[in-house]
Amino acid sequence: MEHLGLDQNIENNIKKWLSGDYDDATKNEIKQLIDQGNKTELIDSFYKDLEFGTGGLRGIMGPGTNRVNKYTLGAATQGLSNYLNHLYKGQQVRVAIAHDNRNNSNIFAKVVADVFSANGIEVYFFEGLRPTPELSFAIRALGCQSGVMLTASHNPKEYNGYKAYGADGGQLVFPHDEAVMVEVAKISDLSDIKFERIDANVHFIGKEMDDQYLDALAKVSISKDIIQRQKDLKIVFSPIHGTGGVSVPPALARFGFENVILVEEQMVIDGNFPTVIYPNPEEAEALTMALAKAKEVDADIVMATDPDADRVGLAIKNDQGAFILLNGNQALCLLVNYVLTAWEKAGKLNADTYVMKTIVTSYMIDKIAASKGVDCYNVLTGFKYIGEVMTQLEGKKTFILGGEESYGYLVGDHARDKDAVVACCMFAELAAWYKDQGESMYDALIGLYKTYGFYKEKLISITKKGKAGAEEIKEMMDNYRKHTPLNLGGQKVVMLKDYKNATSKNMVTGEIEKIDLPSSNVLQFFTEDGSIISARPSGTEPKIKFYCSVNTVLKDKAAFEATETALDQKLNAMLKDLGI
């Protein structure tokens, strides 16, 4: 191994794994990398410990300290167990565990259950794959103190991960997230991890919990009479080989929809995701088969969920009858408008009702909410912050719905995480509502633009892999802070919000105000015409993301294409000025 010229720390980590009490398959994989002289892979696998971040773990599967495997997940679970047993000292701690369809997810889930049980914790273990939102629901329904979901969400097939949840059913937030990170960091040796399962502490759950969850979703429905009239609405659905196939079809049936057309090839549970490049409903390619099926059957709406069914992609028909993909902002604007309008007609809106979104999600939603007299809260990127506010306001105000531009939505308060299962049902209800009025969802979207302004959003994700990539992303953010652009797309930058420092700087007067949100490595540039660009390194992927938003008046439907072109040109000019 010396001939590879590895850093001493990396070499020490490799030797520790080769000489330690790790299984033979793991050791053989490491030896194979050494024999191949695969220096890059060895560096990325061992240059650091896989970070247990504020949302848990996510990474490429394989041997090594910086990879997802039974040992890194075991260490995470041991640290979480230690924290839970300390926090709830004298109580019987209970946790729920679920997993998606990814390769090894079921094996990893068993390892997690083993470690929890070995630490005297009572485990409620889903008997088969289930969506993330059902885990969030189960934590609350069972009175658990924590929960773990084995998934890497919409990442490529090489990835897996571990989402950690608190007693409210939401992903861990401060101070619990940081406290667990400290405990996980204390696990320095394999001998610190208790892998020996205590069978008496593990209980299997399944259909009974499914029924409770589906019953809770059905209560969210607002327009049952309209669904009855439009029960034959043609819905094409694909779970992209994931957990949505388990829950979405029965949920749609509970709502009353009787004409759900499944993409059968993608109903097959397969962690290799053989029919797509990436199992990400944010990518047009992932909906190729669903769109083909929709064209074949002349569907009214197309929906596809990611592997753990917490995100959903949507396609609708335009004026020419062609299917177009909606982005997360457009879908959420339609959903907010429908739900608030339906609640308003039902006499359910009052001063105590509210909606919620993230700071990088369309500000058209703030306008829609204001027009209905409903508060709209803006939180940091990450649905856990929506869940946190929901818990803080529980019993004080009524949560209607929340969402984020990355295709995650929650309608109803049955969970504390984004829920693509209920979102699919509500998007179908929305489509039925408009069809019942002789209007299309496309017409409804144009109507929103005419009423509130044409908001055009675009997300640019730049991937920077490995150690060098992480350093490059850090350098980009440092440079934006040191050399803040004064103009973007021909417009003066009038405000800089730096959420890492919790400051908002007026670029004209120099005045600085505090931002009342937790620290997060996000920068937002506001221009004089109301455009916004937000720069944010991803917390779960080797990427830096740029969220762009511009808006203008849409005079009428005939001006749509010309107005969109002008907004696209403005967006591109702003990005160019940022060096993107």
- In this structure, the answer to whether residues 386 and 492 fall within a common structural domain is no
**Listed residue (164, 82, 59) closest to 387, CA to CA:** 164
Residue 538, pLDDT score: 80
Q: Quick one: pLDDT band at residue 2, thresholds 50, 70, 90?
A: low
DSSP-H helix ranges across 268-327? 288-297
Q: Does residue 187 share a domain with residue 279?
A: no
Confidence of residue 3 (pLDDT cuts 50, 70, 90): low
172, 207, 242: which is the final residue of a domain?
Answer: 207
CATH classification at residue 523: 3.30.310
Residue 518, pLDDT above cutoff 90:
no
Is residue 356 within 8 Å of 335, Cβ to Cβ?
A: no
Query: What's the pLDDT band for 386 if we cut at 50, 70, 90?
Result: very high
Average pLDDT over residues 60-86: 97
User: What is residue 162's predicted lDDT score, i.e. its pLDDT?
Assistant: 95
- Give the pLDDT of residue 328: 96
Does residue 286 have a pLDDT over 80? yes
What is the predicted pLDDT for the residue at 1?
A: 62
Question: What is the C-alpha to C-alpha distance for residues 218 and 332, in angstroms, rounded to an integer?
Answer: 20
Tell me how crowded residue 334 is: count the other CB atoms within 10 A of its CB.
24
In a domain, 471, yes or no: yes
pLDDT in the model for residue 539 = 67
Identify any residues that bridge with 55 across adjacent strands, giving them in sequence order: none
DSSP code, position 199: G
Q: How many domains does the chain have?
A: 3
pLDDT per position as a tens digit, 225-259: 999 999 999 999 999 999 999 999 999 999 999 99
Let me know if residue 351 belongs to a domain. Answer: yes
**Is residue 43 situated within a structural domain?**
no
- Whether residue 290 is found in the same domain as residue 387: yes
Please write the tens of the pLDDT for every residue from 76-126. Answer: 999 999 999 999 999 999 999 999 999 999 999 999 999 999 999 999 999
Structural domain includes residue 216: no
pTM: 0.93
List pLDDT tens digits, range 342-363: 999 999 999 999 999 999 999 9
**Mean pLDDT of all residues in 190-219:** 97
Q: What 3 state SS string does 478-514 have?
A: HHHHHCCCCEECCEEEEEEEECCCCEEEECCCCCEEE
Helix (H) or strand (E) holding 31: helix 24-35
Q: Rounded CA gap, 541 and 156, in Å?
A: 10
Is pLDDT above 70 for 541? no
3-state helix, strand, coil in the chain (%, to 5): 40, 20, 35
Query: Which DSSP state fits 66?
Result: T
Whole-number pLDDT of residue 310: 97
Assess if residue 261 is contained within a domain.
yes
Query: Residue 540: what pLDDT?
Result: 62
Q: What are phi and psi of 541, to 5 degrees?
A: -135, 160
Average pLDDT (124-141) is 98
pLDDT on residue 22? 94
Domain that holds residue 71: 48-207
- My answer on whether 255 and 355 are in the same domain is yes
For residue 153, the number of C-alpha atoms closer than 13 Å in the C-beta half-sphere is 23
Q: Which residue has the higher pLDDT, 2 or 271?
A: 271
CATH code (residue 66): 3.40.120.10
The whole-number pLDDT of residue 180 equals 93
Residues 571 and 492 in one domain: yes
Q: Are 392 and 476 members of one domain?
A: no
Cis bond leading into 307, ω under 30°?
no
DSSP track, 206-227: -HHHHHHHHHHHHTT---HHHH
Q: What is the overall mean pLDDT for the chain? A: 95
Q: Give the end of a domain, one of 452, 477, 508.
A: 452
Q: Give the catalytic positions in this structure.
A: 153
Domain presence at residue 104: yes
Asked if pLDDT for residue 499 goes beyond 70, the answer is yes
Residue that is last in its domain, among 140, 172, 207: 207
**Rounded (5°) CA angle 162-165-170:** 125
Is there a single domain that holds both residue 284 and residue 423? yes
- What pLDDT does residue 315 have? 98
Q: Identify whether residues 251 and 399 lie together within a single domain.
A: yes
How far apart (Å, rounded) are the C-alpha atoms in residues 173 and 383?
Answer: 11
Per-residue confidence at 467, pLDDT binned at 50, 70, 90? confident
Q: Is the dihedral of CA 231, 233, 239, 241 positive or negative?
A: positive
* Mean pLDDT computed over 204-215: 98
- Residue 494 in tokens: 């009038």
Judge if 431 and 526 occupy the same domain. Answer: no
Nearest 10 degrees: Cα torsion 364, 368, 370, 372:
180
Residue 436 lies in a domain: yes
Question: Which of 250, 55, 218 minimizes the C-alpha distance to 147?
Answer: 55
Sign of the dihedral through C-alpha 317, 319, 321, 324: negative
Same domain, 248 and 346: yes
Of 131-145, 148-162, 416-430, 466-480, the one with minimum mean pLDDT is: 466-480
Q: Within this chain, do residues 195 and 234 fall inside the same structural domain, yes or no?
A: no
Same domain? 447 vs 501: no
